[in-house]
Amino acid sequence: MANQSTRAARRTRTDASVGPLLAALGDPTRQDIIERLRAGARTVGELSDAMPVSRPAVSQHLKVLREAGIVVETRQGVRHYFALDAGALDSLRRHFERLWQDVLQSFADYVKEAERARKAK
């Protein structure tokens, strides 16, 4: 049982740090923006020209992604470029790896317990 409470405590700590990231990724339009930014930095105009939403809507979605730390904004003259923040994406990757490890450990614990119960009969 100590193993389960340790995993639960670790999960609580990490869920708080990735919560805003996950919430920001919950919108399909923002997911589409993320996919487009995988190819490299883009301006709002470049993104909105390739999407079925208005430029102001793309700007609002980028604001949410920026505030969550998923994208970074750089300025070159009058242009604002948006790019993915590798650190935030790495944080999400680590979060899902920990979740997967918890699932695998739970399955291993179940198999061990089932084996003990089978041998006890």
Lowest pLDDT segment from 42-46, 64-68, 81-85, 91-95: 91-95
For 27, phi then psi, to 5°, come to -100, 130
Distance CA 80, CA 48 (A): 13
Query: Domains in the chain, ordered, with CATH?
Result: 2-120 (1.10.10.10)
User: pLDDT-derived band of residue 112, with 50, 70 and 90 as boundaries?
Assistant: very high
Which whole-number Å values give the CA distances from 62 to 5, 48, 69, 115, 117, in the listed order? 37, 11, 10, 51, 54
The pLDDT tens digits for 47-86 are 999 999 999 999 999 999 999 999 999 999 999 999 999 8
Residue 15, pLDDT score: 56
Instruction: Yes or no: say if 95 and 60 are a contact pair by the CB < 8 Å rule.
Output: no
Token duo for residue 94: 């680590």
In terms of pTM, does the model score above 0.75?
A: no
Distance CA 2, CA 33 (A): 42
Instruction: Yes or no: say if 49 and 36 are a contact pair by the CB < 8 Å rule.
Output: no
Looking at the DSSP bridge assignments, the partners of residue 74 are 81
pLDDT (mean) for 97-116: 92
The pLDDT tens digits for 4-31 are 544 444 444 455 688 888 889 999 999 9
